[in-house]
A and B are shown apart, each in its own frame.
Chain A
Amino acid sequence: MLQKLADVFHRQVLGMNRRNADVIYRNHTRKDFTVADDKVVTKQLLEPAGIPVPQTYAILHEIRELQEAWERIRQLADLVIKPANGRAGQKILVLKRTDDGWETPGGTHYSAGAIQRHIADIIYGTHASGAWDRAIVESRVVAHPFFRAIYEDGLPDVRVIAYEGTLVQAMCRIPTAASDGKANLHQGALGVRIDLETGRLGQGYNYEQYHPAHPDSGVRFAGRTMPAWDAVRAISLDVCDLVPLDYLGIDIVLDETQGPLVMEINARPGLEIQNVNRQGLREQLTALHS
């Protein structure tokens, strides 16, 4: 038993300390990280290279650009506004057109003034840095029917972990009632194993147990195969080629019409995926690095 524990924790599991010291920050300068940390930079890198991303409508650097940009923004039916330097879904506004304005998927009404205030709030500073930021206005991604059949609300995404140009592990994150439509594991979303080779879904993990079916809708997902899996893999490998980081978390969403789109790149992806896949990252990374 002890032998087994030692094997799991000293050979298989990648812990936070080792991730930080040996995997993320080794061999990299601060500048390398902006590619992942700043969503504007990410888009400017990926878009010209032909990697599919949500269409960019506007990027606002300063408050005085708002007036001119607004003329274009107000024409849009659906849109998403988010900060370049946000994290954990902070300050992200997903909007749909209504008769007298816009509303969020949750049903909160937004007037033109409220949207402009939100943009100003983004530009005036974030929690993370306290510095000024930029606001991105982009097209709204609508979940693919494959995922909508499993659970109606929110936008599921696929997280692929890559190391030194090789894909290592993957999972998808499916919102639940507990996560309030968000695809974040620690907010209550379900992390579902994806078999890297085939794109088949496995069990879903939510910190407490493993589920073969969605806890709210009851729809069984284990054993189903992701659509467009080969495209997801190809896109992930292309991202690895472009981004100057050894270790990456690539977040890809599946749009109902456009297919896979890169939503963001993470330079410090969480370690929870090891629990989802029940496989330690350390042994995989060691094998790749030697």
Chain B
Amino acid sequence: MSTSSRFIRVLQVLLLSVFLVIVGYRILIQDVGLEVLTPEPSYKVTLRMDMTPAEASAGAPMRVSTYVPASNERQRVAPLPHQTGPLSFEVTSDATGRRAVWRAEAAGDAQEVSYAFRVWPQSVAYQLDDELKRPAPGAAPPALHGYLRETPAHPVGTAAAQARYERIAPRRTDRLVPLLQALFEHAASVSEGTGTAAASERTGAPDREGNRWLVTLARQAHIPSRLVGGLMLHDGQASRVHQWAELHINGHWVPFDAAHGHFATLPASYLPLCRGATSLAQSSAGTGLKYTVDVDQSWTARQEMERATTAASTATPGLWKPLTDAGLSLDLLMLMLLLPVGGSMVVFFRNVVGLETYGTFLPALLAVACLATGLLWGMLAFLIVTLTVAVLHLPLERAGLMHTPRLAILMVCVIVQILLTALSVQFEWVDLSYFILFPVVILTSTAERFSAHLTEDGPAKAAKVTLMTAFVIACSYFIMNFSVVGLTLLAFPEVLLLVISFNVWLGRWVGIRLTEYTRFRWLINRHQDPSYATETR
């Protein structure tokens, strides 16, 4: 064994053991939990209202409102910028919930307003104790008496309700859970009966009937109960307005949805907005209202949630605090930690798979830029830049300009091109400097590389390398975009030791690259080729 391969072996063992010691120390002694890595869904929700004042009400005051969620034990809500147009805006609260209200002195033209927020909901499940007894009449505290009363939606105490209750409530037991199950089953069957497509079409509120009856019958059994209105969140525009029930049991408001079989549980996708049988958005008389919900779902880990509120996370007690205190965002920090991972991916694609790319770190940098801007926009920018360079290359070369000034001209054109694209496509600029400067720097160096390839290898080869580069960018993007990868790096930056070790291995690997199997396929049948044999003898 040569000294250098002995050295490599020692190095690898060293890297791995240092890694294990650090990780072991942090997990066993510092008690850093792995649960910080579990991703959870979060939803970016936009409630949008289109108002069209009727002719007759022109000039009269106009008002539109919608219920909006608040943070509580099961959900964290972070408001996002909302859109009010020329209307005044405020948020009010009452017994039914929080409401965003827009007002105008005099109704004018059609208006669009919206309210946006990001929510991290959790599913909840209640364990109901079998020993619980049915509540006695009058046992509820006075504050809850309102939730036992007869209302237009809940005909408590009427002959019909009474008869229905008598029919389904189990006799011979004073326990609560069997009663709840019976009521729930009945409500579910009601939902099934009315929840047909036709009924949903007509009422605009599918399977609302079952939960309404669940509340009515629970009140009949002296259990304080109410309807809850909210959204069933789905990615895209498929979210639905829905109503379910809450029963006050043993001091808790316990959720039930008979329409979808959720007994004392609530999935994470349910977003409660208001209490009572009111509609989610309201407008003053004479104003037409169209209510749409846009949802953008993403998977983020718990740490993200932490991050939204506090700079230092529980997973890395104090680890990054000096940096975040100095103003470095965790997002940026994560991108920096991801860069070597992306770089290693590129090395892998070059040395093991055998693809050609523009440089080693350029594709990794571009993939990281895509993380900030989204893959689509990143790829678009990459293609626009290469196209710009491809179109300008020949005229500039024909003009007999020297190489370096030519690059400067290219740079101007590329930047103008990117800005034009940015203007013509409407983006949500969260932070313009962050979203645009970083990729522009990288893209101009892409332009330089690409122009060099065009000169050295010609357009066909350059186009091929461009495609392979785009492919490698996309692959690195997908790996780095797994939030687990980034979070693992944030929580356990010692993983970078593994990255080094992987590259040490790659650096010593002298095997045949995947693409070389086709490249040198001609050698497989060298002796069988008759023409060859005759030519050379």
Contacts and interface: CB of A to CB of B under 8 A. Distances in A.
B403 A124 contact: yes
B109 interface: no
Interface string A191-223: 001010000101101000010100000000011
A22 B510 CA distance: 8
B404 to A, nearest CB: 6
Interface stretch (B25-33, B142-150, B251-259, B528-536): B528-536
B425 interface: no
B354 A16 contact: yes
Contacts of A90: 455-456
A5 B522 contact: no
Interface in B2-16: none
A278 B527 CA distance: 9
B354 A223 contact: no
A5 B523 CA distance: 10
A15 B535 contact: no
B331 interface: no
A133 B376 CA distance: 40
B138 interface: no
Interface residues of B, number: 31
Contact of A17 (B404, B455, B510): B510
Contact of A127 (B403, B512, B535): B403
A125 interface: yes
Q: Which 5 A-B pairs have the closest CB atoms?
A: A278-B526, A18-B510, A127-B452, A121-B402, A15-B512
Given A4-B524, A8-B524, A15 B404 contact: no
B516 A13 contact: yes
B522 A124 contact: no
Contacts of B429: none
A287 interface: no
A120 interface: yes
Interface in A1-36: 4-5, 8-10, 12-13, 15-18, 21-22
A187 B516 contact: no
Size class of the A contact interface (CB-based, 8 Å): 35 or more
Given A124-B403, A203-B535, A212-B535, A87 B456 contact: yes
A56 interface: no
A289 B516 CA distance: 24
Given A117-B402, A124-B404, A5 B524 contact: yes
Interface string B498-517: 00000000001111110011
A202 B536 contact: yes
B402 A120 contact: yes
Interface of A: 4-5, 8-10, 12-13, 15-18, 21-22, 87-88, 90, 114, 117, 120-121, 124-127, 186-187, 193, 195, 200, 202-203, 205, 210, 212, 222-223, 271, 274-275, 278-280
Contact of A8 (B458, B523, B531, B535): B523
B260 interface: no
Given A8-B524, A126-B403, A278-B532, A16 B455 contact: no
Contacts of A202: 532, 535-536
B508 A13 contact: no
Contacts of B510: 15, 17-18, 21-22
Given A90-B455, A200-B536, A275-B522, A15 B516 contact: yes
A223 B403 contact: no
Contacts of B314: none
A10 to B, nearest CB: 7
B252 to A, nearest CB: 64
Interface string B140-162: 00000000000000000000000
Given A124-B403, A124-B404, A127-B452, A275 B532 contact: no
A234 to B, nearest CB: 23
B84 interface: no
Nearest to A278: B526
Contacts of B526: 278-279
B400 interface: yes
Given A117-B402, A202-B532, A212-B535, A15 B524 contact: no
Given A186-B461, A202-B532, A275-B520, 18 more contacts: A9-B520, A12-B523, A17-B509, A18-B511, A87-B456, A90-B455, A117-B402, A124-B403, A124-B404, A127-B452, A195-B536, A203-B531, A203-B532, A210-B529, A275-B522, A278-B526, A278-B529, A279-B523
A127 B517 contact: no
Contacts of B400: 114, 117
Given A117-B400, A223-B535, A13 B523 contact: yes
A216 B392 CA distance: 32
B182 to A, nearest CB: 68
A111 B427 CA distance: 51
Interface in B447-463: 452, 455-458, 461
Nearest to B398: A108
Nearest to B350: A16
Contacts of B404: 124-125
A4 B524 CA distance: 8
Contact of A210 (B458, B517, B532): B532
B269 interface: no
Contacts of A21: 508, 510
Contacts of A5: 524
Nearest to B520: A13
Interface string B436-455: 00000000000000001001
B351 interface: yes
B513 A9 contact: no
12 contacts: A15-B512, A16-B513, A17-B351, A17-B510, A17-B511, A18-B511, A90-B456, A125-B404, A186-B461, A203-B531, A275-B522, A278-B529
B70 to A, nearest CB: 58
Interface string B368-402: 00000000000000000000000000000000101
A22 B511 CA distance: 11
Nearest to B527: A278
Interface in B472-498: none
Contacts of B402: 117, 120-121, 124
